[in-house]
Amino acid sequence: MADELFRQVGRKTWYKWSIYINVILFFIIGLFLYLLVKDSLAYAREGGDDWLFITRDVAAISIALALVFFQLFRNIFIIMRRSL
């Protein structure tokens, strides 16, 4: 069922969605970078059990960056394949 949905979406529509997805991912990266700095400073000042919040921030940044790099390398591969 999901395969049929992706097959019906045209290339131009997919490229437009891809741009929106990347913008959302960059906002997520920015938000969690801010939270990472804030939580790291709180952990450095007060200590305690704030390491869980730091781990949460690092995990969210890692996942978002992995998705961004996946799309980057996929698009580079498509460009290289088309240019040959």
- Among the residues of 9-83, which ranges form H helices? 11-46, 51-83
Mean pLDDT of 14-35: 88
As a whole number of angstroms, the distance between CA 68 and CA 61 comes to: 11
pLDDT in tens, 49-79: 778 888 999 999 999 999 999 888 888 888 8
Q: Give residue 33's pLDDT band: very low, low, confident or very high (50, 70, 90).
A: very high
Q: How does residue 4 score in pLDDT terms, banded at 50, 70 and 90?
A: low
Q: pTM for the whole thing?
A: 0.73
pLDDT of residue 58: 94
- Domain ranges in the chain are 32-84
How far apart are alpha carbons 1 and 12 in whole angstroms? 21
Give the whole-angstrom CA distance, residue 68 versus residue 76: 12
